[in-house]
Amino acid sequence: MSALPHSAAAPPVYGLVLAGGRSSRMQRDKAALSYGGVSQLERAMALLTPLVTRAYVSVRREQRSDPLRDRFEQIIDVEEGVGPVAGLLAAQASHPDVAWLVLACDLPLLDAATLTHLLRARAPTRTATAYRSGHDHLPEPLCAIYEPRSRAALAAYVASGKDCPRKFLLSADTELLDQPVAGALDNVNTPEEYERVMAALQRPVPAELRHVTVQYYALLREQAGRREESLTTAARTPHELYAELSARYPFSLTPQVLRVAINTEFRDWSTPLAEGDRVVFIPPVAGG
């Protein structure tokens, strides 16, 4: 559960949530679909933002001032008519030296564990890192990391008249991973699929977000570079929250040597987090 192995040579990872689609099969804006009162786009950004250096939303030019989209940093499509690849091309053009974690915004079952595993298992020396589909074992292109080296290959691929990101990953040097959470990448394209996922979410499974405040002390304060922060998280327990924060900060202490306090009382690592909780991870003590 320690920090991700950022080798000195690996470029940083920026995040991109694709919200420029036309949602033609859904017949309404997929980014605005709400699950548990939180729109798809907000949910995807909340999952992604803590895990990457910077996070953007990919939009078409005419969507720039849409109220749902204009609260986030945007990257505007340049190419027309090439589907989701347009967002990645524009992102790579704006920041060519970083890796891009590209995320569709129609993944209501996506969870932090799936993203964290993708980042941990990332192969920065290859062209891309992606999950195998749970259905046909082909690469899932819209929850994947594209290294800087993929830019030239992708541009050539599009120039040759092709725009299918899945086939691009098949043709490229792609690291393929098994999904740690089955079904996490099932997407929602039609009203029927939306109904099915809504029904699945009625079960007490994942997907709910909460606002928590984390206070840092001693070594953790130094490693986080802050005393306190408020965040929106999908983490359900302090254990999941620490895993999320470990992906972000170079924490050297493992949960085995830490204790947890919630709202000024010692608690278990598996205590369910509630809205508004104040969480403190307690390094080994040395009073007296």
Partner 1 sequence: MSRPAPNVGVFHFSRAALDAEALRRALTDPSCGGYAAFEGWVRDHNEGQRVRHLEYEAFEALAVREGERIIAEAVARFGIAHALCAHRVGDLAVGELAVWVGVSAAHRDEAFSACRYIIDQVKHRLPIWKKEHYVSGDSGWVNCERCGSAHGSEAGSRHVGGS
Interacting residue ranges for partner 1, rule: CB under 8 A: 215, 217-219, 221, 252-254, 256-259, 261, 264-266, 280, 282-288
Give the residue with the Cβ less far from partner 1, 182 or 257.
Answer: 257
CA separation for the pair 191, 28 (Å, rounded): 9
Give the residue with the Cβ less far from partner 1, 80 or 265.
Answer: 265
Q: In 3-state terms, what secondary structure has residue 17?
A: strand
Give the residue with the Cβ less far from partner 1, 44 or 258.
Answer: 258
Shortest spacing between CB 129 and partner 1, in angstroms: 30
CA-CA-CA-CA dihedral for 139, 123, 147, 14, to nearest 10 = 100
Instruction: Please say whether the beta carbons of 234 and 184 come within 8 A.
Output: no
Shortest spacing between CB 218 and partner 1, in angstroms: 4
Q: In 3-state terms, what secondary structure has residue 81?
A: coil
Give the residue with the Cβ less far from partner 1, 158 or 260.
Answer: 260
Shortest spacing between CB 270 and partner 1, in angstroms: 17
Instruction: Please say whether the beta carbons of 28 and 114 come within 8 A.
Output: no
Shortest spacing between CB 6 and partner 1, in angstroms: 20
Give the residue with the Cβ less far from partner 1, 93 or 266.
Answer: 266
Least Cα distance to 146 among 167, 165, 127 occurs for 127
Shortest spacing between CB 222 and partner 1, in angstroms: 8
Task: Tell me how many helices (H) and strands (E) the chain has.
Answer: 8, 14
